[in-house]
Structure 1
Amino acid sequence: MKSVIQLLHFGYHQAMSCLFPIAIFGTLALSGMVDWPFIHRYDAILLVLLAVQFLMYRSGLETLDEIKVICVFHLIGLALEIYKVKMGSWSYPEPGFTKVFGVPLYSGFMYASVASFMCQIWRRLRMDMTGWPGLPAAGLLGGAIYLNFFTHHFIPDFRWWLTGLVLIVFWRTWILYRVREVTYRMPLTLAFAIVGFFIWLAENIATFFDAWKYPDQHQSWQLVGFSKISSWFLLVIISVIIVAQLKHVKAGRQPRGS
């Protein structure tokens, strides 16, 4: 019975941490079923997501620090989206006033939703890490991963080499998380893989509802390739590196015993 209660508490905190991602994909789904007479669909999605973020902050579901992290990820994601659309990796075919270089501004929120989940789950499960490799190693690896998303269009794709480096750099790193009074732990690389898989599932939902289209989806919807799981695996690593480092910096600034 105790294990069932633990699982229910764990599931509750996971669900609450997913509120913003759920809002995004729910908005994408519902917006595709509505005929927008006075506003473009992409513009309406942006307004809805801005309202959701405001309400989450005002209600206390997200803190000011978490909003700052989300904004950083929005800019990181938007820059990547602009580049990928320019290179023809995918497209946003519908019109909109809030499109920049062919990319709607709401698209950055899809990356920011990963940061929102990380921040929320970290706080709710009182997470910590052991064996963190430190900023130099983690930061350089995160920068190399992000750069590879751009450079693989011109030079060989080093994602599998980078994945190997992830296993080496983080092989001693474990996530500690607490459900009620019990502390659990999990290898950080396993957490990367699990989150990356679920983002891939969400990506399939998003493309099904025309949030964006890959080249092979313009005629009819197709399942997103399994290779994308590795891309999300690496992107999750960037988000964890930034969030974890910020948490370490903030913890170091707090007085002892706080």
Structure 2
Amino acid sequence: MFLTQAAMAVAALVVWRLATPSLDGLSKPARCLLLFVLLAMLFQRLIRHPLMDAVVTTAWSYSFLANLPALVPFLVIACLVGWTTPRPLRPWQLIVSGLAIAVLAFPVGGMLAAWLSRPLLASAGDLAHAAVYTMPYGMHVLVPAYVTALEPATATVALAGLVWDRLPGGTYARIAGFSVLVMVLDLHLLQPLVVLATEGPDRGSALVGIGQSWLATLVQSMLGAATWAFSVAGSRPLHRPVRQSG
């Protein structure tokens, strides 16, 4: 699992280096905030996850409080990546940097956030309770579930807009490259290998569930890139026309 997180950090570094020319007018704190929001939205942690937990449990305050520690790794990555000045890095430097960032974001930042939030969540324990609504869900659960799916979709299109002009190749090559990049960025590309490496009787059903999420994320990534390519980037030339002399 940690290797997938390290790969995510490497992907964040790559995204940042591709996107930085588009963000020249922003200050470093604003860039960090933007990267944090996009990562949190891509992982559905900014709105969808706590909102849907609140919908099925009706524990609105506790659901959003309990979600706060999960945001800390994204904030750490955004600060460590977004505060740096991008410069050319060799592949081994990207890997080492990704490993260091992943250590600080997940084992260190994640555990520290969980430890610091424990007293807060304990004091708010009276606000928590088990799920009120269970499957099969009614429209009062399904409607917000479908609507909040806009969160990762919006983040995907925004990321495509930030990196599109510096992706290599033509339109279809860029869609493919961007899709792989997003699949690594949100931990899905290598996640089936994590399940295969685990032991237990539930590995088969877990692999089916991961496979469904894997395919959904792939479709989302490709459609997000295609949306940008054909609705925005497709309306202008990919390269500046060569000016004829004379």
Note whether the superposition's TM-score is higher than 0.5. no
* More relative contact order, 1 or 2 (CA 8 Å, 6+ apart): 2
Higher helix share: 2
Higher Cα Rg, which structure: 2
